[in-house]
A = this chain, B = another copy of it.
Amino acid sequence: MEALRVTYRLDVPAADAAARAEAIALEQTVEVPRVVVRDRFIEEQILGRVASLEFDDEGAALATIDYPVAGTAGGDPAQLLGVIFGMTSLQSDAECIDVELPPPLLDALRGPRFGIEGLRKLLRVERRALTCTAIKPLGHSPKALASLLADFARAGIDVVKDDQGLGDHAFCPFSERVPACLRAAAEVADATGHHALYVPNLMGTPSAVFEQLRIARDCGARAVMASPMLLGLPTFFELVERASLPVLAHPSFGGARRFAPDLLFGSLLRLYGADAVIFVGYAGRFGTPRATCRSLVDRLRRPWGPLLPALPVPGGGVQLENVPELLAFYGPDTMLLVGGSLQIEEGAVFERSRAFVRSVREASRT
């Protein structure tokens, strides 16, 4: 059978695990007591089935449940998410730790449209690790941000994104910030030959986001960013469909930590179409365990049906001095995101950015 297979880690006594798994299979599909399911079509094509029940090293039960594809409404992105973890997310004893999707669902969701290769082509960088930073903080004028971007671009940074906090503020409207920053990047490109990719942040209701997308494209933006968990994954999915540009995913509001972080940022964001996924890595103020980071980046890059690999973008407190160690861990199909650390010395943005660029190029060479 081609089923959607979802695994949950259950915090229940071992003796209760089998019953708990059966309850989840009901909860996530028919959401009625088992006796109410009297229809054969519903039994065969809707109802979840416990496929296996195992115990991990810590004694937690791992329940794997198969959900017939029919219930996902042909892979509607909202419906799919509801089947994976809708009601069970509300029960404190279950964490969703893995999904396996059969070919029809992978074909319906499609994943990244550009992926690692598309981003490399856009950046004209074939093999080495990539560099990324953000214009920030929120509060600067478009002019000040464009000037900061120019420093980063002159230093040779590959990708300069908006801070995820840059919305459509009165003191820094989207429609002024984006052309100013694109112009600054183009001017640096004319002068130096290095064309940094500026990535505007889209933020708001769906109407606002799609209007910002239109403005960004009209101004010549070549990629965009959004925060999928803040906008909602189905909205992010529609953005990917509409964009015809590479889309970066920002982790803001991704604290639904009862999705295992490697599943959420590694698999689900790729499934929903992020070409590059920013996540908070082990080396920084968010303290994601190394093993989680390893699994997360493997999920972003490994072969997965027809889905393109997505580019891992570790951030969240990366310091310049950690670059060699980080690239040894993450490998070259990685874009390192360094933020505030580049601005920590007043008047030295260009020099620190240049040091960042050099250290990534050197570490990639070994």
- Which residues of A does B touch, CB under 8 Å? 23, 27, 29-33, 35-39, 41-42, 45-47, 70-71, 73-74, 76-79, 81-83, 85-92, 136-140, 163-165, 167-171, 203-209, 227, 230-238, 241, 251-258, 280, 285-287, 316, 339-341, 343-344, 346
The answer to whether A231 and B234 touch across the interface, beta carbons within 8 angstroms, is yes
The answer to whether B203 and A79 touch across the interface, beta carbons within 8 angstroms, is yes
Docked pose: A36 CA to B346 CA in angstroms: 8
What is the total number of copies of this protein in its complex?
2
* A30 nearest in chain B by CB position: B137
The answer to whether A90 and B233 touch across the interface, beta carbons within 8 angstroms, is no
Which of A139, A163, A286, A339: most chain B CB closer than 10 A? A139
**Which chain B residues border A341 with CB–CB below 8 Å?**
33
Docked pose: A287 CA to B207 CA in angstroms: 37
Given contacts A230-B86, A232-B233, A232-B234, contact A36 B137 (CB under 8 A): yes
Cβ-defined partner of A138 (8 Å) among B30, B81, B254, B316: B30
Docked pose: A63 CA to B137 CA in angstroms: 23
**28 interchain pairs, CB-CB under 8 A:** A23-B285, A31-B136, A32-B339, A39-B139, A42-B138, A47-B139, A70-B171, A73-B167, A73-B170, A76-B205, A78-B167, A79-B165, A81-B253, A82-B230, A83-B165, A86-B164, A89-B254, A89-B255, A90-B286, A91-B255, A91-B285, A91-B286, A205-B238, A231-B232, A231-B234, A232-B233, A232-B235, A256-B258
Q: What is the distance, in angstroms, from A168's C-beta to the closest C-beta of chain B? A: 6
**Pairs A-B, 4 closest by C-beta atoms:** A232-B232, A89-B255, A42-B139, A30-B137
Cβ-defined partner of A232 (8 Å) among B29, B207, B230, B287: B230
The answer to whether A253 and B85 touch across the interface, beta carbons within 8 angstroms, is yes
* A254 nearest in chain B by CB position: B90
Cβ-defined partner of A203 (8 Å) among B39, B78, B343: B78
